[in-house]
Amino acid sequence: MGIKNLILQGEGVCLDFKKTITSAEKIAKSLVAFANNKGGKLLIGVADDKSIVGVKAEDEERYMILKAAHQFCKPAIEPIFDEIYVDNKLVLVVNILESDTKPHYALDDQKKWWAYIRIQDKSVLASRIILEVLKQDQKDTGVLISYSESEKKLLQYLDLNGKITLKQLSKLLRCSYKKGQQILVNLILTDVIKSHTSEKEEYFIAV
């Protein structure tokens, strides 16, 4: 797909626009979110309104991206750069592949490490459940599910109500949040349910 058509699609799960890079900490969040998801492209020199402003100092932008990827991401991320001219303006394309060493964490300005995932056009803090899914998903052992009464109750609840939160599950099963989290993680890993996350709420639905 041409770069203009890509820009017209607008920002989303796999695409982010940056007019310029102002902070290694901020851009690390986007890099980590893409690596923890299915990968994505960062277009430097494109404004949020889809207008192409171009990159003024390409070497500086590259330096900031590499600094973010190597010093502010853990494990480090290796971006792949492309240079594309659109209407005589340079757009720096930063390709981030889906990682096989998830989860990745970004360092914030308080020197704390946080994992992010991509939800629509936002880089959102990964919940404990999603973090555990990312960790478990990298293991080759697989997950063996035995459908106990707990799993049956959960699926029956979803059949009737459509969605459930961790709090609702804990109440339904009269179990701890930790036990509820493990049930949800196992069912996500075996593609029985999936997570829906926003900045306000996380809930789960049947696949």
Express each pLDDT in 40-76 by its tens digit. Answer: 999 999 999 999 999 988 889 999 999 999 999 999 9
3 state SS of 175:
coil
Same domain, 139 and 113: no
Specify the pLDDT at position 4.
87
Residues 9, 99, single domain; the answer is yes
Say how far apart CA 39 and CA 59 lie, in whole Å: 23
Query: What is Dmax (Cα atoms) for the chain?
Result: 64
204's tokens? 């789960």
Domain boundary among 126, 149, 181: 126
The DSSP result for 59-123, as a single string, is HHHHHHHHHHHHHSEES----EEEEEEETTEEEEEEEEPPPSSPPPEEE-TTS-EEEEEEETTEE
30 in the same domain as 111: yes
Report the domain count for the chain: 2
- Taking only the tens of pLDDT, the chain with its 207 residues reads 688 889 999 999 999 999 999 888 889 999 999 999 999 999 999 999 999 999 988 889 999 999 999 999 999 999 999 999 998 999 999 999 999 999 999 999 889 999 999 988 989 999 999 999 998 876 655 555 667 889 999 999 999 999 999 999 999 999 999 999 999 998 998 889 999 887 678 999 998
Quote the pLDDT of residue 201.
84
Angle at 29 between CA 24 and CA 31, to 5 degrees: 85
Task: Note whether 48 and 97 are same-domain residues.
Answer: yes
For residue 79 the two structure tokens come to 């971006």
Question: What pTM value is reported for the model?
Answer: 0.84
Structure tokens at 27: 């851009």
- Report in angstroms the alpha-carbon separations of 18 from 33, 41, 42, 50, 183: 15, 11, 7, 10, 39
Tens of pLDDT, residue by residue over 26-48, are 899 999 999 999 999 999 999 99
Q: 169 and 99, same structural domain?
A: no
Q: The CATH number of the domain where 48 resides is what?
A: 3.30.950.30
CA atoms of 112 and 107, how far apart (whole Å): 5
Residues 115 and 154 occupy one common structural domain: no
106 and 48 share one domain: yes
Asked if residue 115 lies in contact with residue 105, where contact means CB atoms within 8 angstroms, the answer is yes
Backbone angles phi, psi at 91, to 5 degrees: -110, 125
- Cβ atoms of 191 and 121 within 8 Å: the answer is no
- Domain with 76, as residue range(s), is 3-126
Residues 86 and 158 in one domain: no
Strand, helix or coil for residue 139: coil
**What is the pLDDT, as a whole number, of residue 175?**
93
